[in-house]
Amino acid sequence: MKDILSGNEAIARGAWEAGVRFAAAYPGTPSTEILENIRGYEDIESQWSPNEKVATEVALGASIAGARSLAVMKHVGVNVAADPLFTASYTGVNGGFVMITADDPAMHSSQNEQDNRNYARFAKVPLLEPSDSQEAKDMLKLAFELSEEFDTPVLFRTTTRISHSKTMVELGERAALEPLTVLEKDVPKYTMLPGFARAKHPKVEQRILDLAQRAETLDVNRIEMGDPAVGIVASGVVYQYAREAFPGASFLKLGMTYPLPQGMVEKFRSKVDRLYVVEELDPFLEERIRLMGVKVDGGKSVFPITGELDPGLVARLLTAAGAPGADGDLLTEPGPGAEGLPMRPPTLCPGCSHRGVFTVLSRLKVFVSGDIGCYTLGAMPPFGAMHSCVCMGASIGMAHGISKVTDAQGQIKNQTVAVIGDSTFFHSGITGLMDTIWNRGASTTIILDNRTTAMTGGQETPGTGKTLSGEPAAEVDIPRLVEALGVKRIAYMDPYDLTETEEVIRRELEAPEPSVIIARAPCVLQFKIMNDPWTVDSELCNGCKRCLRVGCVALSLIEGEGEEDTLVEIDPVQCNGCGVCAQMCRFGAILPPVPVEA
């Protein structure tokens, strides 16, 4: 049976077919749908973890207990999970253990563009890279086989264009598994005291040499001979781009990109006139190939080190470098587009509970130490009310550092406030707050508790009282947790009430001790909260545009009756009736919905 699956759906299917028993993840674009789809396979125990480090540790535990297990994350998640990964490389596995890293070249939804292929070399583990959904499914099985045969974690890398592209997949089945009933103990293997770890390191080095030998005969690495004038080395989606751009060329198609099959590379070099390495981001393959002493005629000298490639770019850049045989259809430079069009960036939804908070923060001109979530959009116009955002959980520690070295002299604009969402707070904000309290900080933290992981599509958190599969679970009590960390001042505010929000934030900023403000209001998108639309009284509206400062797409300026007369209109389809814009109006021109009489 065939179906059209995204790379993420295919990975989930591949996990099921490969006999995976356990999978854990923290959501992050473009990886999120992998666990959401694995959830549908009842014979895999799957869970969200509070962060990627924990996801990796629980998956490693399941592996040591004998289960094939999977840890899934976006590229920056591997930074968080690097600690267990690097030493899991020493312990090795029992049941196969695979870590999936979904990289995001071009940063469609990320804060950096790191190339996680480098982690394979750094952690000394093998790396597989599928080039479409069929390969994603098939290569995941290979990843588990290699993991068990070579006693190693395996890094499995997709990019956004693999995770979120849909191609056709032939579906297979899952073999029945015996229950795991015996827990075997092996102190030198799994207990990385220095003495045991010293014995492991040479084995890790030998393992990479052995894997390089195996790479010579794996069928995911193959030479596809065409015209010998042009030889292209590629992997992942870039292989597909290059195939499209140079349909007649010769290819060294790599499915395992670390360690590389040196014999195969040398053989390919000997068969082609010119050798090009086509890859996105870092010269990962190119550097390894050059280190073999193999001549490369073009790599990063031809292709950019930033952003994504596409078939047209591969065709044009390699042609300019002197490679013959590009598909003529792809060589035409596209005509000019329309200029000066307004951008359409993502924006806070109408009715979003973050809108009021950022309207007030923008007004207060305080330095906002931000974090990662929908609320990062508070940095965008018209708010411009987020002044730093680095990584998950950074807001609180950074605010503490800022306030430690600044004398605000009582001025709010010289003060800092940390803003963090509930899921991000659980991920890695708690330790930052612990640091603030322990080290006698005085900064204020706002926790935007919208009861979900909103930006990635509404996943459960440790605070929602439900697991990934929807089962009831214990619910983290944020106020009691914060209190246990030593916070004496805990305040609450209704983020839809601008007056209250401003009063509470001002009061807590002025307090000479650390405080936490909790704004608890559920995500309107995730919980499908719909309120009746508000309306504008055109007699009362004088077009002052003050309401537009709330940055809501339901509002727009229209022509009034008189000349040069503009006024605001509310789109009844988009308006979600939160009333925040009405609180900005000084003329009472924005009116609540009239209740329908019974």
Partner 1 sequence: MTENGTTTNILISGVGGQGVLLASYVLGQAAMKEGYEVKQSEVHGMSQRGGSVVSHLRFGERLASPIVTQGTADFLLSFEPLEALRFFNWLRPGALLIYNTLRVNPSTVAAGLATYPDGIHERIAQAWPNSRGIDATLLAEEAGTAKATNIVMLGSIARELPFPLETWRHIIGRVVPPKTVDTNMKAFELGRAAGR
Q: Which residues, other chains included, contact 554 with Cβ-Cβ below 8 Å and sequence gap of 6+?
A: 350, 533, 570, 571, 574, 575, 576
In contact, 68 and 20? CB cutoff 8 Å = yes
Among 236, 11, 241, 233, CA closest to 132? 236
To partner 1, the closest distance from the beta carbon of 19 in angstroms equals 28
CB of 545 to partner 1, least distance (A): 5
Shortest Cβ 362–partner 1 spacing (Å) = 11
Q: Which is nearer to partner 1, 224 or 537 (CB)?
A: 224
CA dihedral 365, 366, 370, 374 (to 10 degrees): -40
Site residues (vs partner 1, CB under 8 A): 2, 4, 29-30, 32, 108-109, 132, 160-161, 164-168, 237, 240-241, 243-244, 247, 310-312, 315, 327-330, 332-338, 340-349, 374, 377, 380-382, 455-457, 525, 545, 548-549, 551-557, 571, 573
Report the nearest approach of partner 1 to the CB of residue 276 (Å): 17
Closest CB to partner 1 among residues 414, 574: 574
**Is 62 or 233 the residue whose CB approaches partner 1 more closely?**
233
Smallest separation (angstroms) from partner 1 to the CB of 134: 11
Pick 79 or 574: Cβ nearer partner 1: 574
Q: Strand, helix or coil at 101?
A: strand
Q: Give the C-alpha separation, 190 to 206, whole Å.
A: 18
Is the CB of 349 or the CB of 446 nearer to partner 1? 349
Contacts of 496-504 spanning 24+ positions with Cβ under 8 A: 496/353, 496/356, 496/521, 496/578, 496/579, 496/580, 497/356, 497/583, 498/356, 498/359, 498/360, 498/580, 498/583, 498/584, 499/583, 501/356, 501/357, 501/360, 502/360, 502/363, 502/364
CA 537 to chain centre: 43
CB of 223 to partner 1, least distance (A): 17
Nearest alpha carbon to residue 205 among 315, 90, 41: 90
Q: What is the 3-state secondary structure (H, E, C) of 524-587?
A: CCCCCCCCCCCEECCCCCCCCCHHHHHCCCCEEEEECCCCCCEEEEECCCCCCCCCHHHHHCCC
Exposure string of 413-449, with b = 16+ CB inside 10 Å and e = fewer, is: eebbbbbbbbbbbbbbbbebbbebbeeebbbbbbbbb
Whole-angstrom Cα distance, residue 578 to residue 531? 7
Residue 131 or 262 with smaller CB distance to partner 1: 131
Output the smallest distance, CB 552 to partner 1, in A: 6
Quote the DSSP letter at residue 330.
G
Cβ at position 334, least distance to partner 1 in Å = 4
Structure tokens at 183: 């827990």
- SS3 assignment, position 153: coil
Is 312 or 401 the residue whose CB approaches partner 1 more closely? Answer: 312
Identity of the amino acid at 305: I
**408, 410, 411, 414: CA torsion to nearest 10:** 20
- Of 358, 364, 362, 363, the C-alpha closest to 411 is 364
Structure tokens at 397: 């520690």
CB of 201 to partner 1, least distance (A): 39
Closer residue to partner 1, CB minimum distance, 151 or 227: 227
Taking the least distance from each CB to partner 1, the nearer of 292 and 391 is 391
| Complex with partner 1: residue 95 or 105, whichever CB lies closer | 105
Beta carbon of residue 551, minimum distance to partner 1 (angstroms, whole number): 5
Label residue 260 exposed, middle or buried (CB < 10 Å: 0-12, 13-18, 19+). buried
Nearer to partner 1, 202 or 381 (CB): 381
- Minimum CB separation of residue 208 from partner 1 in Å reads 31
User: For partner 1, which is the closer residue by CB, 131 or 445?
Assistant: 131
Closest approach of partner 1 to the CB of residue 114, in Å: 17
Q: Which is nearer to partner 1, 7 or 84 (CB)?
A: 7
Single-letter amino acid code for the residue at 456: T
**Residue among 214, 260, 212 nearest 234 (CA):** 260
Cα distance between residue 514 and residue 483, in whole Å = 12
What minimum distance in Å lies between the beta carbon of 138 and partner 1? 17
